[in-house]
Amino acid sequence: MSEEQWDAVVDICMKGVFLGCKYALPELMKHGGVIVNTASHAGTEAIPLSAHYCAAKAGVINMTKVIAMDYAKYRIRANCVCPGGTRTNIVESYFAGMSAEQRKAAEETGRAIHLLDRLADPEEMARVALFLACDDSSFVTGHALVADGGITAGHRI
């Protein structure tokens, strides 16, 4: 990949999260609060031809853990969600550029890598983030909650 491709993905996936935290933390330090970042299952294991994406998402996971350590004294919890395949606008636009046959094959492959045999709905990821943001998880900090439909549970032979 080119350096420009690397930089673009790292800037979006990791630097964007850094900047969000950088500007939220001074306000949260005044009264406490919660940060919920979005990483990916790809931050926990390698995916071929995705070094930039995997590295950026692993960076988000570890940045979140450092924030949890550094800001707990301000009553700030920091966690991240690590989704698997989710039916977002980006995924739908990716599928839209394919023929019907290609789309069917890509959707079958996407489902097959998830033990639950489907992609997540965005609302499912929202509920995971809500859990991390609410008092039900008041003793959870520095955690990367993997919600990937079983992708990282193990490799099937």
Q: Does the pLDDT value for residue 19 go beyond 90? A: yes
Predicted pLDDT of residue 92: 86
If you average pLDDT over every residue of the chain, what do you get? 95
Residue 110 pLDDT class (50, 70, 90 cuts): confident
Provide DSSP, 23-48: HHHHHHHHH-EEEEEE--GGGTS--T
Report which of residues 109 and 3 the model is more confident about. 3
53 given a catalytic annotation: yes
Is residue 63 within 8 Å of 17, Cβ to Cβ?
yes
Average pLDDT over residues 105-111: 89
Q: How many Å apart are CA 40 and CA 45, to the nearest integer? A: 9
Is 10 a residue whose pLDDT tops 80?
yes
Domain ranges of the chain: 3-84+120-149
Span 141-156, mean pLDDT?
93
Q: What integer pLDDT is reported at residue 40 of this predicted model?
A: 97
- Say which of 23, 53, 71, 74 is annotated catalytic: 53
Residue 155 has pLDDT above 90, yes or no: no
Going from the C-alpha of 31 to that of each of 22, 120, 136, the distances in angstroms are 16, 34, 19
**In CATH, what number does 3-84+120-149 get?**
3.40.50.720
The pLDDT, as a whole number, for residue 77 is 98
pLDDT above 80 for 156 = no
Query: Does position 52 have pLDDT exceeding 90, yes or no?
Result: yes
pLDDT at 60: 98
Percent of the chain whose pLDDT exceeds 90: 87
pLDDT classification of 31: cutoffs 50, 70, 90: very high
Specify the pTM: 0.93
